[in-house]
Chain A
Amino acid sequence: MTLWFLRGLSRGVVTTRYPARPDQATALLPTPPAFRPGAIGPEEADQLAALCPSRALKREGAELVFDAGACTACGRCEQASPAVRESGHFELAATSRRDLVKRIPLKPEAGR
């Protein structure tokens, strides 16, 4: 046991200070996408929705509905569209399932 005691002393503290202080290890985590409003056209939105493996994206009229709860941050949509980028949000706990559902306005139809 003395062996383990000394090992522990020599290692020092590794514990994160989160939530008191931010932890830079969170920078490594994959995070859900964020969308540039009004930059995605309807058919591109449909493509994105079709691309999403966890059905987190769907188009409702002129809005792209993004369900952050269903999103697995796989990054497929970010690869597919320049208007989608990693959001960097990892603190996503919600007290209501509906708070995780986001609506992003799409690019208005051309020629209207």
Chain B
Amino acid sequence: MNTLIWCYVAAGGWVLAALLAAAGRGGRPWLWAGCAVSALAGVAAIGGGVSAVWQGSTPVVSAGGAGAAAASVVGTLQLQVSSLAGVFAALLGLVAVAIACYAVRYHEPGPGTGLYLASFNLAFLACLAVLAAANLVTFLVAWETVALLCYLMILRSPRRVEVASGAFWFLALSEIGFVLIVAAFVILATKTRSVELGVIAAHAHVVPAGWRDAAYLLALTGFGFKAGLVPLHVWLPEAHPVAPADGSAFLSGLVVNLGAYGIALFAFRLLPAEPAWTGLITMGAGALTAAIGILYALTEHDIKRFLAFSTIENTGIVITAFGAAMIFGAYGQRDLWAFLLLAGLYHAANHGTYKTLLFLEAGVVEHATGTRDMDRLGGLVHRLPRSAIIAFIGTLGIAALPPFNGFVSEWLIFQGLFQGFRTGSHLIGILIVVAAATLGLTGGLAIYAFVRGFGIPFLGMPRTRQAAEASERGQPVLGPGLLAVCCAGLAIGAPAVLLALSRAVGSVTGVNLRPVLLPGNLTVIPAHTDFSGFSPTYLAVFLVAVTAVPVLIYLAGRPRSVSLAAPVWDGGMVTFKPRMQYSAMTFSAPTRVTFDALYRPSVSLRRASDDPAGRSGPVHYESEVTPVFERYLYRPVIRAVEWLADFVRPVQSGDVNLYLLYVFAVILIAYLIGALT
């Protein structure tokens, strides 16, 4: 079935869902209906994405026919689902299905909910439009629509001031990014005299190198704002905590990935022949982002801020892969070029699944306990068993532990980076290996961070009454559960996924990876046969079998040994208290000490025992990390802007006559120009 038909179905579905949600003003049955339609539309989007990936890019279709397209360049709506976009379209569908299943239980019926879900479905639609855009007008319009709708979603409960500020951070930075993207597109469009992406891609070689690089860097920065490249990332930790759970899941699972898509669009489709140094910049930015992201994640005890920083880390990994791919491409290593693109796409898809899952579960925890502060949770595995299992799967995935999906894609990326020596240039090779090492550090810290991120809220003793009395009755399970299944599927079914991705990459890059990558028998051989290979499927099966062994031993040994039940050894204390277990901040104290040059932690301490008589009593210890980028990068900029605004203010005096004068002046000038030319 034709890709575009799938997409039309999806688009129609979302429009319908939006109407249902809005018209029903959030009544329970309307809510159900809207979410059901939205989920079905998501399924259609998955179908569209998969078929785009499988069958290659669709032809360009113009609303109002090809003639109209030829006639007026700027005005038309042109659609084409490239196989690159197909990957993200499928991800969009998956996220949409999960969120629809989740939202129906998560939200209380009500007018606010109705509008919220309406904007949500329209946002899905806009994302699909971004992915299906064939010319830059369509692209930019859709892109801007996504930003605005996300802004509305974040403003779900606008009474709280931090919500407003978080939403504003998001909007401000996306607008700055938008301007840069426009600039990038304008350069290309003017140089190639076309607005169609296909044409631009075809004539990219005629663009002078300087302009090309400028356009690429502008695009990298512009999309970097969405993707959360350091130091452009500051909106994520501000916007995610204040958005509703499904909203932040959408932001992290998809919107951020759209940024990655944009970068991929420029790097691999529009400007495939960029020089190595742009690739180096991309890779460096990616590696830096990954490391900084995870380091900040380790200092957060708000679950959603923590996850937001981990999102920054994961896009960093994706961008690193893209950057390395560009370098290999510049050195003519077309296999590795294509392979790293593939690995990056794989990781983007994986991140989309498990990060959506984790944000949805964070929402469940927040609903059940009323707090997002890890240091006020604990022991939830007993209170929320289902959520605990699902969150645990997501955690294993994001910590890149087999048999789950994060492991496969990160392993592929590493294998690709280890090929750095094949560039022929020692310096470049070393730099690539340095990036690999940075990702290695990031991976280690990620495991550390997610041991903490899962262990502190879910294990141990409850630290507060809310945590002790949490209940998961009525909490959504289907959406996250679906994603958990996908996390497993994306790992165990890796060969199939790679097969599909290799087709997509093949149609973008023209390199057929399949014979090297998948020699059959479920093994994966990244890059070069003489280097390494493994089989995610067998690995998963093996791991499951291994976990069975101790169980069997236990069952076998059971009749012979008598087991003695005794409480945990606590040194003979009378009572063991929740305050006697590691908290989120103490668990990560070693990193705070090691990297304090980056964190610049500020400590505040109040303790009764400072009294001269040596009387002992209550202790309160706070160690806060300085938000370096906000304070030393953004605050000066904001001040400068305000300073300039003071000069502009007189122009906007609010006097109607003055405004009429402006209008008159403009018309006059326009007329003069018209007359002179």
A and B in direct contact, judged by CB atoms within 8 A? no
Q: Interface on B for A, CB 8 Å cutoff? A: none
Q: Interface on A for B, CB 8 Å cutoff? A: none
